[in-house]
């Protein structure tokens, strides 16, 4: 009897944690998203589904902008993270742990402080642009802050480690003897990478995309600090609805709409990549 219930007892603490801090808040937010009212008179459950349609119609631009920023940032993190992870995995030698520590070092500083530091670096009279303006290399009116470049750059910087680590783990599991065997069979370095290393590292890329695209799309800190009025993301709108307008039903509806859109995107992405193939590669 004890053996039968032992697995359930082991997962009980984690299960309770998920129920209390994930399921219950989601159910509560789902209930709030269909309510009507205000903070003064209170909110009443009327199953007002128009909150969702109003959210899509009114903030369609912010939804699309957030998806675009998340996609651009994710692609940039892949382009930057893969060479770094590849070098650490195959060329790092005995100092792999040191290099991984350097990758994780920014996490010792607050997310907000890291983003604010980029605001000082990219300021019009900052240590990067002012010398270039003094030398005449860029126009006097040139600026980076409050642009799409600044927001996407901040997202890429802040979430880059989340892409490096899963790709590194996948590459670390690649048996070097398999690569050596491909050379023995007269394979070129390019063919060896595209037909052996890259397919075997797809589980890491898959995990990295999930760990970067989702928080990037729902992020509001980078857009608030590095962006301007034309760079508002849906996360900024949700923050405003909750903390400024006190319109909890609208904020909850926006949150659920964003979550549903990202889930659909993730399922489409998994289907296009071929989850079964990724899992088979991970099992090997």
**pLDDT beyond 70 at 282:** no
pTM score, whole prediction: 0.88
Res 253: pLDDT: 94
Mean of pLDDT values over 52-72: 93
**pLDDT beyond 80 at 227:** yes
Res 276: pLDDT: 53
Higher-pLDDT residue of 280 and 127 is 127
Residue 167's Cβ-side half-sphere holds a number of Cα atoms within 13 Å equal to 27
Mean pLDDT rounded to a whole number for the chain:
89
Higher-pLDDT residue of 272 and 120 is 120
**pLDDT beyond 60 at 283:** no
Give the integer Cα–Cα distance in Å for 173 and 107. 25
Res 186: pLDDT: 77
Give the integer Cα–Cα distance in Å for 109 and 28. 33
CA 268 to each of CA 77, 192, 201, 254: distance values in angstroms, whole numbers, following the listed order: 20, 29, 20, 21
Mean of pLDDT values over 223-251: 93
**pLDDT beyond 90 at 55:** no
What helix, strand, coil percent values describe the chain, rounded to 5? 80, 5, 20
Least confident of 9-23, 86-100, 185-199: 185-199
Mean of pLDDT values over 153-182: 91
Q: Would you say the C-alpha torsion 113, 108, 243, 46 has a positive or negative sign?
A: positive
**pLDDT beyond 80 at 281:** no
Least confident of 57-71, 129-143, 198-212, 263-277: 263-277
pLDDT in tens, 82-106: 999 999 999 888 899 999 999 999 8
Q: Which residues contact 206 (CB under 8 A, 6 or more apart)?
A: 270, 273, 275, 278
Least confident of 67-76, 78-87, 175-184: 175-184
**pLDDT beyond 80 at 231:** yes
**pLDDT beyond 80 at 1:** no
DSSP 51-76: HHHHHHHHTHHHHHHHHHHHHHHHHH
pLDDT in tens, 262-279: 888 888 877 776 655 554
Structural domains in the chain? 56-283 (1.10.3720.10)
């Amino acid at each position: 009897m004890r053996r039968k219930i032992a697995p359930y007892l082991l997962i009980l603490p984690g299960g309770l944690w998920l129920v209390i801090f994930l399921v219950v808040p989601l159910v509560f937010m789902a209930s709030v998203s269909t309510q009507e009212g205000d903070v003064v008179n209170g909110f009443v459950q009327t199953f007002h589904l128009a909150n969702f349609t109003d959210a899509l119609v009114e903030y369609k631009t912010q939804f699309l902008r957030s998806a675009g920023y998340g996609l651009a940032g994710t692609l940039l993190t892949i382009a930057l993270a893969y060479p770094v992870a590849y070098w650490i995995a195959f060329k790092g030698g005995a100092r792999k742990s040191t290099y991984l520590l350097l990758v994780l070092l920014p996490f010792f500083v607050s997310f907000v402080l890291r983003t604010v530091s980029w605001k000082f670096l990219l300021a019009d009279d900052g240590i990067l642009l002012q010398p270039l303006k003094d030398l005449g290399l860029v126009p006097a009116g040139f600026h980076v802050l409050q642009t799409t470049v600044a927001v996407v750059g901040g997202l890429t910087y802040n979430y880059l480690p989340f892409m490096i680590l899963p790709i590194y783990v996948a590459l670390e599991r690649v048996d070097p003897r398999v690569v050596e065997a491909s050379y023995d069979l007269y394979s070129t370095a390019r063919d060896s990478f595209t037909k052996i290393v890259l397919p075997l590292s797809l589980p890491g890329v898959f995990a990295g995309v999930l760990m970067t695209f989702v928080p990037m799309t729902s992020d509001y800190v980078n857009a608030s600090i590095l962006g301007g009025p034309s760079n508002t993301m849906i996360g900024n709108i949700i923050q405003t609805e909750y903390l400024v307008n006190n319109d909890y039903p609208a904020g909850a509806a926006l949150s659920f709409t964003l979550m549903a859109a990202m889930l659909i995107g993730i399922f489409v992405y998994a289907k296009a990549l071929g989850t079964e193939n990724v899992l088979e590669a991970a099992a090997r």
